[in-house]
Amino acid sequence: MAKLEYTEVKIAEERLRSLFESHGLVFIEREITFVDRNVPAGDGFIDTLGLDEQLRPVIIEYKVNKEASADALVQALSYSYHIANDQEYYAKLFKQKLPKRKDIDFDNVRIVIVAPEFSRHVVDAAKAGQV
């Protein structure tokens, strides 16, 4: 069996996002449907907004800097808060982008962070929301 070797490659955040989006988000999960990019949420923008097969919104944030994962988690949690508290706006967006999808589950917004690594504190903080 041949040994696989990996090389670390520097990539811009926008290029990383485009790579994920152009492949139907299959790198994250096969059944996530792309909805939109740069979606307004509070004072920021969701990098990629998707919808999983259980009709739950999926917030996807991309970070290429190793130190950015904690900020990404806080950012994504903030976006989740805005989706949950402005369901009418986001329901219209989903209806516009995916007219056949109904009954979006705004009570169970998912967060996916694509980053090179996560500190133990970030992992523990992310798990706290699942209890």
| Tens of pLDDT, residues 63-73 | 877 777 788 88
- What's the pLDDT score for residue 71? 85
- What's the pLDDT score for residue 13? 73
- Separation between Cα atoms, residue 74 and residue 126, nearest integer Å: 10
Question: pLDDT class for 101, splitting at 50, 70, 90?
Answer: confident
Classified as helix, coil or strand, 41 is strand
Lowest mean per-residue pLDDT among 5-14, 26-35, 110-119: 5-14
Highest-confidence segment of 25-39, 54-68, 79-93, 112-126: 79-93
Q: What is the mean pLDDT of residues 110-123?
A: 83
Looking at every residue in the chain, the average pLDDT score rounds to 84
pLDDT at 131 over 50: no
pTM across the whole model: 0.82
pLDDT at 22 over 80: no
CA distances from 65 to 62, 70, 92, 117 (A): 9, 11, 34, 9
